[in-house]
Amino acid sequence: MLVDRLWPRGVSRARAKLDQWDKALAPSTELRKWFGHEPSRFDEFRRRYIAELRGQRSRLTALRRVARAETLTLVYGARDSEHNEAVVLAEVLRRGLPKAQSR
């Protein structure tokens, strides 16, 4: 499942062989642009992305069911394998949404 809002450059849909592309679970365009794949912004990106995911509980529940029944591979277009939305989404799928923190 592709979890990016944009299709990755240089990858044809036929070559990707993806079963699903869920743009709704991807970070918002504003958040994606703000983050800019800067590792120093990852902690804040993670916090903001989780806040966005709180509005997608039914999608997360459905995806968690799929992950329990079969192998679920989250595909992303970023070059950085440690600082991207798939890392955050995988954590949320494994552990659930963390308690909301007041600021």
User: Is there a domain that residue 49 lies in?
Assistant: yes
Separation of alpha carbons 56 and 58, rounded Å: 6
How many domains does the chain fold into? 1
User: Is there a domain that residue 103 lies in?
Assistant: no
Per-residue model confidence (pLDDT) at position 16:
83
State which residues form the domain around 23. 13-95
pLDDT means per 10 residues in the chain (103 residues)? 87 86 93 96 97 95 93 90 95 89 57
Per-residue model confidence (pLDDT) at position 84:
95
Per-residue model confidence (pLDDT) at position 103:
54
Per-residue model confidence (pLDDT) at position 101:
64
Per-residue model confidence (pLDDT) at position 34:
97
Sign of CA dihedral 7, 10, 11, 13: positive
User: Is there a domain that residue 36 lies in?
Assistant: yes
Per-residue model confidence (pLDDT) at position 14:
86
